[in-house]
């Protein structure tokens, strides 16, 4: 199987501190990491390769620094990497990203499967995977929690509201995956050595014959016009349970709040 995995480099936000005065995120010293939800797609790819053979190519659109993410994917067990980097790609929204990645996928044809993460933790849109499938005309399964190969088809189980549904997709296809699909492995020593040595291909708009009117900020139909801090209009009432009396009081408060919110 030839598998393509688009991955994104994002700011590491798990140790993010909030500035208590302004309520904004303290960005200084924030590291860049592979989008944590892309680790599940990488792991799925590696398992499929272990089972069926083949190769995995990771692709990322981003600044030159994003090659760190690609190297990490190689260290986990992917085979080859392509970095889409060009000043024309900067500031892309999900449309421009889907378009740019599509041009790369066309260059990487033929392939059997594209695996995307459910969403990237910075933008949080979950739009690039479906966008890519639409532009490439590939059968799509989103929120996929399990896949099996059967008679040249992909049997994909999707996690949806209320349960799971099972789809059958002809190949080549595109799936976006949720955390349940796999448990990501750590990079191996051999993988790390390979990652260090690997020459990462770098493609520009020109290399992919991409129309720069559709890439980057210029090609993005959406624009952020304002950002602000969310209002945290919480009452923030605290009750400490120390004895029977405060316990009863705490429970009373919960019940009266539930009643007020018409929950009971």
Partner 1 sequence: MKEIWIYAEVREDRVNEVAYELLTRALDLKGKLEDSIISAVLMGRNIPDADKQELIKRGADRVYYVDNPLLKDFVVEPYSKVLIELINRYKPEIIIAPATTQGRTLMPYTAVRLQTGLTADCTGLDIDEAGNLLQTRPAIGGNVMATIRTSTRPQMATVRPHSTRPAPIDESREGEVIEVDVSLTEEDAPVKKLEYLKDKTQVVTVQDADIVVSGGRGIGRADNFKIVYRLAELLGGAVGASRDVVDRGWITYPHQVGLSGKTVNPKVYIALGISGSIQHLAGMQTSETIIAINKDPDAQIFRVSDLGIVGDLHEVVPVLIERLEALKNEI
Ligand X SMILES: Nc1ncnc2c1ncn2[C@@H]1O[C@H](COP(=O)(O)O)[C@@H](O)[C@H]1O
Ligand Y SMILES: Cc1cc2nc3c(=O)[nH]c(=O)nc-3n(C[C@H](O)[C@H](O)[C@H](O)COP(=O)(O)OP(=O)(O)OC[C@H]3O[C@@H](n4cnc5c(N)ncnc54)[C@H](O)[C@@H]3O)c2cc1C
Q: What is the DSSP letter of 179?
A: G
- Contacts (CB under 8 A) with partner 1, residues 6-35: 13-14, 16, 18, 24-25
Q: Within 13 Å of residue 52, how many CA atoms lie on the same side as its CB? A: 16
Single residue of 75, 76, 140, 205 touching partner 1 by CB under 8 A: 140
123 and 82 in contact (C-beta within 8 Å)?
no
Q: Which two tokens stand for residue 19?
A: 């500035």
* Residue 193 binds which entry of partner 1, ligand X, ligand Y, none, CB below 5-8 Å type-dependent: none
CA nearest neighbour of 179 among 155, 154, 147, 144: 144
Token pair belonging to 262: 């018409």
Give the chain's radius of gyration (CA, Å). 22
Determine the Cα–Cα distance for residues 95 and 125; give it in Å rounded to an integer: 11
Q: Is 14 in the site for ligand Y (CB under 6 A)?
A: yes
For ligand X, the closer of residues 62 and 216 by Cβ is 62
Residues in 175-194 at the binding interface with partner 1, rule: CB under 8 A:
178-180
Kindly state the smallest distance separating residue 12's Cβ from ligand Y, in Å.
Answer: 9
Strands 2-6 and 140-150: unpaired
Binding string to ligand Y for residues 29 to 68, with x set by CB under 6 A, is what? -------x--------------------------------
Peptide bond into 172 cis (omega under 30): yes
The footprint of ligand Y on residues 135-194 (CB under 6 A) is none
Cα separation, 147 vs 132, whole angstroms: 19
Question: By rule CB under 8 A, what string of x and - marks binding of each residue 195-234 to partner 1?
Answer: -------------------------xxxxxxxxxxx-x-x
CA angle 45, 50, 54 (to 5 degrees): 70
The stretch among 43-51, 72-80, 189-197, 239-247 that binds partner 1 (CB under 8 A) is 239-247
CB 145 within 8 A of CB 157: yes
| Cβ-contact 91, 70 below 8 angstroms | no
The entry of ligand Y, ligand X, partner 1, none near residue 62 (CB within 5 to 8 angstroms by kind) is ligand X
Q: Which residue has the tokens 């770098």?
A: 202
Among residues 169, 177, 195, 208, which is the contact residue for partner 1, using CB under 8 A? 169
* Contact residue for ligand X among 3, 4, 7, 75 (CB under 6 A): 7
Strand partners, 6: 59
45, 77, 117, 216: residue in contact with ligand X (rule CB under 6 A): 117
Q: Which stretch binds partner 1 (CB under 8 A): 52-60, 74-82, 105-113, 155-163?
A: 155-163
Q: Taking the complex as a whole, how short is the minimal distance between the CB of residue 123 and ligand X, in angstroms?
A: 4
15 binds ligand Y (CB under 6 A): no
Binding interface with ligand X (CB under 6 A):
6-8, 35, 37-38, 59-62, 94, 97, 101, 116-117, 119-120, 123, 125-129
């Amino acid at each position: 199987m030839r598998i393509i995995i688009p991955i994104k480099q994002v700011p590491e936000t798990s140790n993010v501190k909030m500035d208590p005065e302004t309520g904004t995120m303290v960005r200084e010293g924030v590291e860049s990491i592979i989008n944590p939800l892309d680790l599940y797609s990488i792991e799925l790819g590696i398992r499929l390769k272990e089972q069926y053979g083949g190769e995995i190519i990771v692709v990322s659109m981003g600044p030159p620094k994003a090659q760190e993410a690609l190297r990490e994917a190689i260290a986990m067990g992917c085979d080859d990497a392509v970095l889409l980097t060009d000043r024309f790609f900067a500031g892309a929204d999900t449309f421009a990203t889907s378009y740019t990645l599509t041009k790369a996928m066309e260059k990487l044809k033929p392939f059997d499967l594209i695996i995307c993460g459910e969403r990237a933790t910075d933008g949080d849109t979950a739009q690039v995977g479906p966008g890519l499938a639409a532009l490439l005309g590939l059968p799509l399964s989103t929120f996929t929690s399990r896949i099996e190969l059967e008679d040249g088809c992909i049997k994909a189980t999707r996690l949806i509201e209320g349960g799971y549904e099972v789809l059958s997709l002809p190949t080549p296809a595109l799936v976006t995956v949720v955390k349940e699909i796999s448990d990501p492995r750590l990079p191996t020593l051999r993988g790390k050595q390979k990652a260090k040595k690997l020459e990462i291909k770098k493609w520009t708009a020109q290399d992919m014959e991409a129309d720069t009117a559709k890439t980057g900020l210029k090609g993005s139909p959406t624009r952020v016009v304002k950002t602000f801090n969310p209002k945290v209009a919480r009452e923030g009432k605290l009750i400490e349970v120390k004895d029977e009396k405060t316990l009863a009081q705490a429970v009373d408060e919960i019940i009266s709040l539930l009643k007020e919110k018409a929950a009971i």
